[in-house]
Structure 1
């Protein structure tokens, strides 16, 4: 199994809008692969969103992407 970890550095005060838009697209996206996790930072590097997508292997990721 492999995991794709995506980290986005956002403009200040834009995290709520990003989370709203991500929530709107998640339903369509999880048809292809499950969402492993979705977080936004409250301490440390602020205005950051991280999500994880697990795949069986690199071929599965390539097929889905």
Structure 2
């Protein structure tokens, strides 16, 4: 039987939601082993002076534990 843990993380990018997601998974994988999936729970943008300046994502990261 396998056991999976889920953590929630947030990330931001000035390029796109996809870049924010990639960045989040890459950074999480530096301290979390066995990442098996990432679910984008929420997307939002930062707006300054009427223009989008950053893309933000909230992810659920799943990984196996021993």
Q: TM-score range by the shorter chain?
A: 0.3 to 0.5
TM-score (norm 2): 0.42
Choose 1 or 2 for highest CA Rg. 2
TM-score when normalising by structure 1: 0.43
Greater share of residues in helix: 1
